[in-house]
Structures are given as structure tokens and as C-alpha cells.
Amino acid sequence: MTTILADSFTAALAKLTNDEQKQVKLTAFDLQTDPDRPGLQFHRIDASKDPNFWSVRVNRDIRIIIHKSGNSVMLAYVDHHDDAYKWAERRRIEAHPRTGALQIVEVRERVEEIALRTEPPRQADLPFVVATAPAVSDLPLFARLTSDEALSIGVPVDWIGDVLAANEERFFTLTNHLPQEAAEALLEYAATGVLSKPAPIDATPVSHPDAQRRFRILDGHEELAAALDQPFEKWAVFLHPSQRALVEKDFNGPVRVIGSAGTGKTIVALHRVTRILRGDPEARVLLTTFSEPLASALKRKLGVLFADEPTLGERVVVASFEQAASELYALMTGRKAYLIGRDNLRAMLRDVAEDANLKRYTPQFLLSEWEHVIDAWQIDSADAYAVVPRMGRKNRLGANQREELWSIFDNVRKQVRAKAMMTEADLFTVVTGHFSAKDQKPYTHVVVDEAQDLGVAELRFLQAIAPPHADALFFAGDIGQRIFQQPFSWKGLGIDVRGRSFTLKVNYRTSHQIRRMADLLLPASVRDVDGEEDDRKGTVSVFEGLDPVVVIAPTEEEEIISASAFLQTLLDDGLRPSEIGIFCRSNAEIARVAEVAKLAGIPTASSSQGTSASDGVLIGTMHLAKGLEFRAVIIVACDEGVLPLSSRVADVADEFELDEVVATERQLLYVAATRARDHLFISAVSPGSEFLEDLIRK
């Protein structure tokens, strides 16, 4: 008998205690093994309008709701006895009459009247709050839609009237009662004015792409165990149709998946790796990203996907860009690569310039020119420096200036090599040169997460270690989250993604309210050097939450008190400390972060340890928040001079670089804010960062 898992079951399971979850899982395994065994106590839900709903006893109080149809058993819901029965009594499971997708539908006549709230839910009262919720319109959102159009996008028949009459506030209440595909299509229509109707699909109801976002057919105990062990990470089980299409499609060249924070780019990358390994027994895949902590998180998540096929993990390497290059370098040479640090390079550049009596070139300019031109493009001669296009750099250099500067850079290059050291870019270049000349590559496929932070040398390296076949390179990233690298032309390096760049629009991680505020930090459209555009308009969140809080306190002490009070409300509402992250711009402000947690009386864990290192609140810098997810995020010390960081501003060499620094600092705040799912708190000491003005504008 076929076992089907519904996302409503995993969501309900996550709300039970650990002991209750263990008992539910044992019963679920028994159901999967032998659903007709005498020891399982079945009771038909007679009060339900769907005759296929049954309850299964877990213990004296917990009941699993299953749906038996033909030769299949669906795990639909689980809860305490009365609540489990109420859930089943007001629902039915059926194929939608127009789209054909299997849906769990609330019976409209059994849903209590959907009351309009007089105002949106708000966070607890705190001192010095400056952000206010935007006004909500009372006008119907879908006055121009017909009943047939609503039906065409998956709205159940008995909910069409509610949808067509809903204003903005009422609609966000309704989304909790509608199938996900219908809510998404309506949200997109509200944001863009365009109603995207799905094309007719010839598939069984449970195999329909829209059904696969909430139902999954399970093959065995291992797959069921993996799904139930990670109930919060539903990405491991359920995929949106737009994500599934990118996972499964064969492409004729390099692919890039972009989209704002929370739209599932990493989900697509992980499932893409799994699809490659399952489809080709000879495949050897590198899954790579910008940092080792994030690579470790990706490896853990892959382990969930590989639960029923653990041998797949033997053919994939998960590593940061630098780690992947270092391992290949060690294999090539039999020795370790020793890298020189940024501070040492700055000192060497300054000393060489002073010795050459070229003090008119500041240390800031020299380091910037080194990092963004000389080292990035691996310039190795005066002739190469004379002709390299210094893209976007506004302080033009004549031939004599380049000649003088090259004398400095060449001297520094020789000193670095004399110390038997290299820069990160040198490391990538050495490995690139080795494998570019070889037909046999170390990997058949390379999948990159957080691809927006690839530099020139890194991109060349990844291109060199994968074969030239069309499907070898797959990139996932968000141009708006670029915080480490200056922009450059991918096409100029031979990576042409034109026609194969896809934007994800559905945000699963971040509430409507948090996404709406965070989006104020970035332009509506971000374009890269090659002209590929990430249009952020039309991105929708699939759930609503509480409005974010922005606090500008008169003193540091009062800011800490306000942030700690907010933290305490989260704990009082039942959030676990491990579901909360507290971040700041740099290590100089970490003491303020720690004081917030100390005042609330809870332990902390460093972000360098990873989210599982402690039961405490995770603390760290905004950079280390990248790639992580929390139910609540608190960002403190967003002060003037801290964001953007004054030392970075002081290091800029020209106007272009100043623009880039300000843009990446703004994107850094965006990254930290969008780590939050349900709750967001941002604070500063007066007057606060200039970026906060965008968040509190009316």
C-alpha cells in the first residue's frame, strides 16, 4: 500500500512535545509497514463530510488523522484527540475541479465566521519605537476578478465568494484557509496586477506539480524517518513547481537561479545535487559556497535528503570555495597552501610605497587597487596592468601612474612569494592553471550556493575544475545579497547565463511584514554587469506575521534594555532560545549583543559554533548570519558610524568604491534582517544609521 505524507502532518508534528513526537513516529512506521495490522486502532471520523478520514490511536490522547483512498494511506494530521477530530471534521481531500491538483480543503460552512481584525497584530509595547505599520486599504483587492478566474488558479469553489469580497486585511486572514497555489497566485495578482494561470497538466491528482508542494509519496522507512526528523525543514520533502522545474530540467549551458532572500535558491541547489547523483551513477559533484560554516550547514541538509540513499553522499564534496581549492592544491603538490592575510598585505603595500617615495598613493588606495584589480585579475606584468580595464573605477590612471604603481605591486608580489605564501586569488589561479590544461576534471558537476559572492579568481577556478559539457555549472544566488565582492562580467570570463537565468518569486521563510520592510533597503530592480536583471517586484510571502520593530534609543543602556525586553517577550511567547539570533555589524559591538542576552538571563552561543552548538541564543556579526534562519532576529547597534562602518568608508579609494561600500553595507543589513521568519527587531543609539531612515519612512 502506498504511503503519502502531507505537509499538514509535518507541521502539526512539530508542535508536539519530543516524547509525543517519538510515539507518533513509531505509530507512523507501523502504519507504513502494515496499515491493516490488528494492533492499530482505527476509527472513522463520522462527523466529517469526507468519508475517507480515519483516526489512529497513538496513546491515550494523541491521534493521527489518516486519509484512506484506494490503495493509499495518507498521513494527514496529528494532534490531541479533540483537536485532531475537529481538524478532520472541517476538511475534505479532493482533486480541484479545474486544475486537477489534490488539495486539502476546509469546508467553508464549518469554518467559523472569519472576523476582521480592527488592526494588524502588533509586537509588545516597547520604548523608543519609531517604525509604524503602513495603512491598510479597505477596498476589495480582487474586484476585477471573475469567479471563473478564481477557480482557474485553484481557489476551492466554496471559498470564491470570500476571496472576491476580501480587502487587504481580510485577505491575509483568508490565506490561512486557502490551498497554497491559490494564495500565491492571488498574492502575485495583488502585487503585480497579473493573474498567472497554470497550464493544463495531464497528471494524477497527487502527482500534479501543485500537489507535490504539499504531498509526497514515500518509498520506505528511511525516507519517512528523514521527513519526520526534520519537520521544520519542509524544503527537504516538498518543492514548489517553479523549484522542481529548475531541479529537473536539462540545460544547454551554465544556469543561474536568482531571487530575494527566502525564495528557496538553496533548496533548488540541494535538490539539484540530489537529482544529478541519482541520474548519473558516475557523477562526482562539488557543492560549494563562500564560507566553511555555511558549507557545513549545506552538508547537514544534504544528509537529510540522502537519508534513504546514504551512498549518494560518497560522490559529493561539500566545501567552501577556498577549502575546495586548498584540497585540490594539496592533491596536486603534496603540500599545504599558506595564505597571507589582508592586514599583512596592507602593511607591505604601505612600506614598499614609502621606500619608493611614492607616498601620494594612500594605503587605502593601494590595497583597493591590489584587491580589485591586481590580485582579482591576477595581473602579472606591467604590460598586462597597462591594458587591464579598471571597470567602474573613477580615478583614471595614466601610463606613468600605472608604471609607478606596478613597481609597488610587483615588489609586493615578489615579497609574498619569497615568504612561500600566496593570496587566495593566487591559490585559485594555481589550481585553475593545473586543471585547465587537463581533459580529466575532478568533478563532473559544480553546484554553487551564494554565487553572488564569487570573485573573478573563484569563478575561473570553478570553470576549470568542471568539464565543458552544457549541464556542468549551476549557480544559485541573490544579487541583492552581495556583501563580499565587487561586480564584474561573468560573460567576459566565458560564463554566459543569458536565457538561463531564472528568478524565484515565492518567499517561504520571511513573513509578509518583514519582507516588505527589508525590501525598502534595496532598489526594486538590481542589474548585474552583463545586464541580467533581478526584478524584485512581485515577490510574495506566503504567510503574514507581526510588524517589525525599529527602536532608536537615546543611550546605549536604554537600547540594551529595550532589546532585552523584546527578547523576553519572545521567550514568554514560547520561542526556544535556539530559534533566536542576535546580530551586530562587527566584533566591536559584540559586547552589546551579549549584554542583551545577559539581561534576559539566557545563555549565548557563538555563530562560529553553528546553530546546534548550544541551547542558547545565537550571537554574532551580520556576516556570520548569512545562510542561517531563525524564527526571530534581533539586530542591535545600528548606529551612525557603525552602519555603514566608518573604517570601511575611510578605506575607500574613489567615489565608485564609496558607492560600492555603502551598497554592500546596506545589503548586509538586508541579509541580517531576512534571516527572520516571524519576528524582527532593529535598534540603534540616536541618531542611528542612515539606513534606518528608509525603514521608518511613512
Question: Does the pLDDT at position 410 exceed 80?
Answer: yes
- Comparing CA positions, the residue from 576, 583, 584, 586 lying closest to residue 614 is 576
pLDDT higher at 477 or 446: 446
What pLDDT sits at residue 103?
A: 94
Contact by Cβ (8 Å): 537, 191: yes
In this prediction the pTM is 0.77
- Looking at every residue in the chain, the average pLDDT score rounds to 86
What pLDDT sits at residue 137?
A: 62
Is the CA virtual torsion 333, 336, 341, 346 positive or negative?
Answer: negative
Tell me which DSSP letter residue 550 carries: E
Q: Give dist(CA 568, CA 598) in Å, integer.
A: 11
Express as a percent the part of the chain with pLDDT over 70.
87
What pLDDT sits at residue 32?
A: 84
Highest mean pLDDT among 207-211, 284-288, 645-649: 284-288
- Comparing CA positions, the residue from 306, 237, 189 lying closest to residue 508 is 237
What pLDDT sits at residue 580?
A: 95
484 grid coordinates: 563580499
Beta bridge partners of 553: 685
Tell me which DSSP letter residue 100 carries: -
168: amino acid identity, one letter = E
The CATH number for 237-333+440-509, chosen from 3.30.110.30, 3.40.50.300, 2.40.30.270, 3.40.50.720, is 3.40.50.300
pLDDT one-digit tens code per residue, 485-500: 566 788 888 899 988 9
693: amino acid identity, one letter = E
What pLDDT sits at residue 527?
A: 65
Torsion angles phi and psi, residue 106, rounded to 5: -75, 135
Mapped onto helix, strand or coil, the DSSP state of residue 223 is helix
Q: What architecture is domain 546-695?
A: 3-Layer(aba) Sandwich (3.40)
CB atoms inside a 10 Å sphere around CB 281 = 8
Give the DSSP per-residue string, 118-144. Answer: SS---PPP-TTB---PPP---S-TTTT
pLDDT one-digit tens code per residue, 216-268: 887 766 667 766 765 445 555 677 778 888 999 999 999 999 888 888 899 89
Is the CA virtual torsion 549, 553, 556, 558 positive or negative?
Answer: negative
CB atoms inside a 10 Å sphere around CB 117 = 11
- Comparing CA positions, the residue from 107, 70, 102, 106 lying closest to residue 215 is 102
Q: Give dist(CA 686, CA 308) in Å, integer.
A: 54
Q: List all residues 6 or more positions away from 359 whose beta carbon is below 8 Å from its beta carbon.
A: 353
What pLDDT sits at residue 113?
A: 60
Q: List all residues 6 or more positions away from 101 whose beta carbon is below 8 Å from its beta carbon.
A: 95, 154, 179, 181, 205, 208, 209, 210, 211
Tell me which DSSP letter residue 373 carries: I
What pLDDT sits at residue 613?
A: 46
324 grid coordinates: 575546495
Torsion angles phi and psi, residue 350, rounded to 5: -65, -45
What pLDDT sits at residue 431?
A: 97
- Comparing CA positions, the residue from 257, 254, 233 lying closest to residue 244 is 257
Q: List all residues 6 or more positions away from 334 whose beta carbon is below 8 Å from its beta carbon.
A: none
Contact by Cβ (8 Å): 213, 6: no
Helices (H), 230-381: 241-248, 265-279, 292-305, 321-333, 342-355, 363-369
What pLDDT sits at residue 381?
A: 93
Beta bridge partners of 445: 285
Q: Give dist(CA 617, CA 606) in Å, integer.
A: 9
pLDDT one-digit tens code per residue, 571-589: 998 899 999 999 999 999 9
What pLDDT sits at residue 444?
A: 97
**Average pLDDT for residues 17-41, to the nearest whole number?**
84
Question: Does the pLDDT at position 611 exceed 60?
Answer: no
Q: Give dist(CA 649, CA 657) in Å, integer.
A: 9
Torsion angles phi and psi, residue 78, rounded to 5: -150, 140
pLDDT one-digit tens code per residue, 138-153: 678 888 899 999 999 9
Q: What angle do CA 610, 612, 616 make, to 5 degrees?
A: 95
Q: Checking phi first, is residue 399 left (phi over 0); if not, alpha (psi -120 to 50) or beta?
A: alpha
- Comparing CA positions, the residue from 562, 599, 559 lying closest to residue 689 is 559
Q: List all residues 6 or more positions away from 323 whose beta carbon is below 8 Å from its beta carbon.
A: 292, 295
Give the DSSP per-residue string, 271-293. Answer: HHHHHHHHH-TT--EEEEES-HH
Q: What architecture is domain 2-89?
A: 2-Layer Sandwich (3.30)
**Average pLDDT for residues 384-395, to the nearest whole number?**
68
Tell me which DSSP letter residue 391 carries: T
Beta bridge partners of 6: 215
